[in-house]
């Protein structure tokens, strides 16, 4: 067994285990922490593909920002066992069906995909390097990229403005 | 001069609630000023006294451990009258009186003396009232020039006559000076 | 060849690890000394000459303390908290170029553990993970003060990470690379980034104060309100780890500040030194120069700590969101305009 395969197996085990633990843990904080571990191990999968940029951005955005906000709110809510809402049976059934359908779609997609072999090895260009990635993003995907950035900027300015308005009303 | 405008330290500043200008509200100048002040202190002379190696000079009237004095012939002054114990605000002093035997004339000046004389140093506040109360000039706090040492046990702070009475060598030196 | 590289890198990583630990240890000593000097005192001077053995004495004391476990349902997380803090604080040093290169036995040794493409992003990623140590520890302590401290730390770190990232974008626009080795190399001589990006530098500096939880932004452990903050319930070496992690991260942020804005290992006359004295002496001087810069920044961190009082929490948030973020965006825009000024001038027909 090659080293990469071994690492892959270990990482997959961690990913799956933490993902299941996320769902099955009663304690919300533990569940959030398992999710963080899951995200980190997914970043490890990206690294196995030599996708450094994706891996690091994944860690920054998901484990570094989103999950911290998650933990933040969960810690503040002080969830106890008594507060647990009893889900009606219909909801559970619906959730089960949606889960099965989604996995079917995903499975179908995986079966249909063909591994791309060839040009990547031959050209010798490191397509995962951030230079190539940047060029692709700003040439081929210029418009969606800019739209996304404007959207984020607007959201950020909105947040700043929201906090500002409160102040002016007070005066 | 009005009280309102007086400044004893010479550094009085009027407090004003005026709105800060934009430049002031950045605090950059204030921060740099503050940093300048603290960095000056880096180069000032340090005031610390490195105690066991350096000892600050003590005043002549500095009050330390008590001393029960002897007279020029080496006899103890104390007559166990109990005025020091009475005057002590911390109630630190206790004593037992005894009568002098004929063969002890060279030890005690008067017919009555203190067979036991104890000061609890944990209670003592070194106020010096015992010294003022003593009619026989027997107890002094300014003579020994010794700090009461620290200890781990409470019992060790009850000082008896073995620690309080003036050492014989000192009394001998005193008598030499007198003659 | 392969094994040679592995051995070389292992030795290097081990050295860097040791140096980081040592620097963190002596930062505690330096902190006490600087604090004392700024307050007209002498500071620790009993353990060894100038108190140089003080960190050892402190460590020994911490090790010999009782390991206290509070009554918490999360004993495991309680132990994980300081471990996460510590390991994260030490991870960042992997991508930092400590010098240019040395030639040892005919082999060129690059003085960097690994030169990844996305070095800066890696630093950011690790920093953003760092807050988990505080959050988990604070929460698992089962103590409302610790919990509040964890909340504060999390929101503060997230807020200031944004401003920090934005202030870096202007720098990256100029550099055109995310690799710290490239950024260091491009600042040869006195061509330091701080002269081109003074505003960005100030924003980055303020944010790194906030990210390392140092005064005036040490609201997570502010003694007056929160006892000790997230490490209230900790004792023995677990608390030692938290304190140690703080100093290690201070060392790392000083290093990053020095590498990004103050030229890293570059010093004026380096090329002349390489030509006249050879590669090795010139680069060893470079390493010394880098460490001098790091020490200067560490001193600055301490100097500020004993000068500026702690912010109030709403002031901190206002400064982050309404002060630094707009300023950083303005900095990005201005840098962009300056970079394309020739194109603009051409388009306008000058």
B50 neighbors B56 (Cβ within 8 angstroms)? no
What residue of B is the nearest CA neighbor of C300? B35
Domain count for chain B, please give it.
1
List the subunits that have 3+ CB pairs under 8 angstroms with C.
A, B
Which residues of chain C are within 8 Å of residue B35 when distances are taken between CB atoms?
A: 303-304, 307
B41·C38 Cβ contact <8 A: yes
Which residues of chain C are within 8 Å of residue B50 when distances are taken between CB atoms?
A: 42, 45
Which residues of chain A are within 8 Å of residue C142 when distances are taken between CB atoms?
A: none
Q: Is C304 on the interface with B (CB under 8 A)?
A: yes
CA dist., res. C14 & res. C247, Å (int): 19
Cβ-based interface (< 8 Å): residues of A facing C: 29-30, 33, 36, 40, 52-53, 56-57, 59-60, 63-65, 68-69, 71-72, 75-76, 129-131, 153, 156, 159-160, 163-164
Q: Give the other-Cβ count within 10 Å of C217's Cβ.
A: 25
Q: Is residue A72 part of a domain?
A: yes
Q: Is C37 on the interface with B (CB under 8 A)?
A: yes
Note the pLDDT tens digit of each residue in C49-87.
888 888 888 888 888 888 888 777 778 888 888 888 888
Q: Mean pLDDT score of chain A, rounded to an integer?
A: 80
Note the pLDDT tens digit of each residue in C277-286.
777 788 888 8
Q: Of the candidates C265, C301, C231, which has an alpha carbon nearest to the alpha carbon of residue C78?
A: C231
Bond from prior residue into A155 cis (ω within 30 degrees of 0): no
Q: Is residue A37 part of a domain?
A: yes
Question: Residue A121's pLDDT is what?
Answer: 56
C203 neighbors C163 (Cβ within 8 angstroms)? yes
Domain of A37, in residue numbers? 1-84
The average pLDDT across C86-105 equals 80
DSSP C94: G
Q: Is residue A109 part of a domain?
A: no
CATH (domain of B140): 3.30.70.3270
Q: Which one of C308, C311, C315, C327 would you mutate to disrupt binding with B, by most B Cβ within 10 Å of its Cβ?
A: C308
What residue of C is the nearest CA neighbor of B35? C307
Phi, psi of B116 (to 5 degrees): -125, 135
List the subunits that have 3+ CB pairs under 8 angstroms with A.
C
Domain count for chain A, please give it.
1
Q: Is C46 exposed, middle or buried (0-12, 13-18, 19+ CB in 10 A)?
A: exposed
Phi, psi of C101 (to 5 degrees): -160, 155
Cβ-based interface (< 8 Å): residues of B facing C: 31, 34-35, 37-39, 41-42, 44-48, 50
Q: Is residue A133 part of a domain?
A: no
CA dist., res. C42 & res. B32, Å (int): 25
What residue of B is the nearest CA neighbor of C299? B39
Which member of B34, B41, B44 has the closest CB to residue C308? B34
Q: Rg of chain C's alpha carbons, rounded to an integer?
A: 22
Task: Report CA A53 to chain centroid distance, whole Å.
Answer: 14
Question: Residue A171's pLDDT is what?
Answer: 44
Question: Residue A168's pLDDT is what?
Answer: 52
Q: Which one of B32, B33, B41, B54 would you mutate to disrupt binding with C, by most C Cβ within 10 Å of its Cβ?
A: B41
Tell me the CA distances in angstroms from A76 to A22, A79, C228, one per residue in order: 19, 8, 20
Q: Is residue B88 part of a domain?
A: yes
Q: Is residue B158 part of a domain?
A: yes
Q: Is residue A79 part of a domain?
A: yes
Tell me how long chain B is. 179
A163·C321 Cβ contact <8 A: yes
List the subunits that have 3+ CB pairs under 8 angstroms with B.
C
Which residues of chain C are within 8 Å of residue A137 when distances are taken between CB atoms?
A: none
Domain of B144, in residue numbers? 67-178
Q: Is residue B116 part of a domain?
A: yes
Taking 70 as the threshold, does the pLDDT of residue B152 lie above it? yes
DSSP B165: B
Note the pLDDT tens digit of each residue in C142-190.
888 888 888 888 888 888 888 888 888 888 888 887 888 888 888 877 7
Q: Is C236 exposed, middle or buried (0-12, 13-18, 19+ CB in 10 A)?
A: middle
Residue numbers of C between 148 and 167 with CB closer than 8 Å to A: 150-151, 154-155, 157-158, 161-162
Note the pLDDT tens digit of each residue in B93-121.
999 999 988 888 888 888 898 999 999 99
Q: Which one of A71, A76, A78, A166 would you mutate to disrupt binding with C, by most C Cβ within 10 Å of its Cβ?
A: A71
The average pLDDT across B43-63 equals 85
Taking 90 as the threshold, does the pLDDT of residue A100 lie above it? yes
Q: Is C286 exposed, middle or buried (0-12, 13-18, 19+ CB in 10 A)?
A: buried
Residue found by looking up tokens 């069906």 in the block:
A97
> pLDDT grade, residue C46 (50/70/90)?
confident
DSSP B135: T
Which member of C42, C45, C307 has the closest CB to residue B38? C307
The average pLDDT across A81-90 equals 69
> Which residues are bridge partners to B67 per DSSP?
B140
Question: Residue A74's pLDDT is what?
Answer: 80
CB-defined contacts B:C, below 8 A: 34
- Output the six-digit token pair for C188: 């040869």
Note the pLDDT tens digit of each residue in A137-159.
888 888 998 899 899 888 878 87
> Which residues are bridge partners to B76 per DSSP?
B70, B108
For A165: left if phi > 0, alpha if psi spans -120 to 50, otherwise beta; the answer is alpha
CATH (domain of A15): 1.20.120.1200
Question: Residue A1's pLDDT is what?
Answer: 63
Q: Is residue A29 part of a domain?
A: yes
What residue of C is the nearest CA neighbor of B33? C307
C307·B34 Cβ contact <8 A: yes
DSSP track, B141-162: SSSS--PPPP-S-SGGGEE-HH
Whether there are 3 or more C-beta pairs closer than 8 Å between B and A is no
To which H or E segment does residue B97 belong?
strand B93-99
ipTM: 0.79
Question: Residue A78's pLDDT is what?
Answer: 65
């Amino acid at each position: 067994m090659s080293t990469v395969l071994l690492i892959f197996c270990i990482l997959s085990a961690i990913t799956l285990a933490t993902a299941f633990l996320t769902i099955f843990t009663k304690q919300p904080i533990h569940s959030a922490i398992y999710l963080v571990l899951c995200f980190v191990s997914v970043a490890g999968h990206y690294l196995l593909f030599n996708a450094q940029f994706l891996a690091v951005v994944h860690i920054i955005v998901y484990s570094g920002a989103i999950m911290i906000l998650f933990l933040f709110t969960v810690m503040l809510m002080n969830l106890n066992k008594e507060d647990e809402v009893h889900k009606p049976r219909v909801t559970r059934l619906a959730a089960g069906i949606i889960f099965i359908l989604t996995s079917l779609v995903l499975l179908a997609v995986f079966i249909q995909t063909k591994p791309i072999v060839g040009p990547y090895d031959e050209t010798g260009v490191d397509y995962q390097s951030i230079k190539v990635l940047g060029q692709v993003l700003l040439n081929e995907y210029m418009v969606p990229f800019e739209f996304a950035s404007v959207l984020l900027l607007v959201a950020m300015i909105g947040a700043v403005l929201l906090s500002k308005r409160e102040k002016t009303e007070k005066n | 001069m009005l009280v309102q405008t007086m400044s004893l330290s010479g550094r009085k500043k009027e407090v004003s609630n005026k709105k800060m200008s934009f430049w002031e509200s950045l605090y950059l100048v204030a921060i740099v000023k503050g940093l300048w002040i603290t960095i000056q202190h880096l180069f000032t002379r340090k005031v610390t006294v490195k105690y066991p190696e350096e000892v600050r000079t003590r005043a002549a009237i500095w009050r330390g451990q008590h001393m029960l004095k002897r007279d020029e012939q080496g006899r103890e002054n104390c007559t166990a009258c109990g005025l020091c114990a009475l005057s002590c605000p911390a109630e630190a002093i206790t004593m037992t009186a005894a009568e002098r035997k004929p063969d002890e004339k060279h030890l005690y000046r008067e017919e009555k003396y203190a067979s036991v004389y104890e000061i609890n140093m944990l209670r003592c506040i070194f106020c010096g009232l015992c010294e003022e109360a003593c009619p026989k000039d027997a107890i002094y706090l300014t003579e020994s020039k010794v700090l009461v040492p620290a200890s781990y046990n409470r019992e060790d702070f009850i000082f008896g006559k073995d620690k309080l009475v003036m050492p014989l060598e000192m009394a001998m030196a005193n008598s030499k000076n007198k003659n | 060849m392969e094994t040679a590289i592995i051995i070389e890198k292992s030795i290097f990583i081990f050295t860097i690890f040791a140096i980081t630990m040592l620097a963190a240890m002596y930062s505690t000593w330096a902190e006490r000394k600087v604090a004392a000097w700024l307050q007209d005192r002498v500071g620790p001077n009993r353990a060894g000459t100038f108190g140089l053995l003080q960190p050892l004495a402190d460590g020994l004391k911490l090790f010999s303390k009782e390991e206290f476990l509070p009554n918490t349902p999360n004993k495991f997380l309680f132990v994980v908290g300081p471990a996460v803090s510590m390991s994260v604080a030490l991870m960042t040093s992997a991508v930092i170029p400590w010098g240019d290169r040395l030639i040892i036995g005919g082999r060129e040794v690059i003085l960097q553990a690994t030169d990844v493409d996305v070095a800066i992003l890696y630093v950011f990623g690790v920093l953003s993970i760092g807050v988990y140590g505080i959050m988990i520890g604070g929460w698992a302590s089962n103590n409302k003060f610790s919990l509040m401290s964890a909340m504060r730390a999390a929101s503060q770190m997230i807020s200031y990470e944004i401003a920090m990232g934005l202030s870096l974008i202007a720098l990256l626009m100029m550099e055109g690379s995310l690799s710290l080795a490239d950024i260091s190399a491009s600042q040869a001589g006195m061509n330091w980034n701080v002269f081109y990006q003074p505003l960005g530098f100030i924003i980055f500096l303020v944010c790194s104060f906030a990210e390392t939880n140092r005064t005036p932004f040490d609201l997570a452990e502010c003694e007056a309100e929160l006892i000790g903050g997230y490490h209230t319930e900790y004792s023995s070496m677990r608390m030692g780890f938290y304190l140690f992690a703080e100093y290690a991260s201070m060392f790392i942020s000083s290093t990053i500040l020095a590498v990004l804005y103050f030229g890293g290992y570059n010093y004026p006359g380096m090329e002349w030194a390489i030509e006249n004295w050879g590669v090795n002496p010139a680069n060893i001087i470079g390493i010394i120069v880098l460490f001098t810069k790091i020490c200067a920044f560490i001193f600055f961190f301490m100097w500020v700590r004993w000068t500026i009082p702690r912010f109030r929490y709403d002031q901190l948030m206002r400064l982050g969101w309404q002060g630094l973020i707009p300023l950083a965006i303005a900095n990005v825009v201005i840098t962009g305009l300056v970079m394309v000024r020739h194109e603009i001038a051409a388009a306008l027909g000058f």
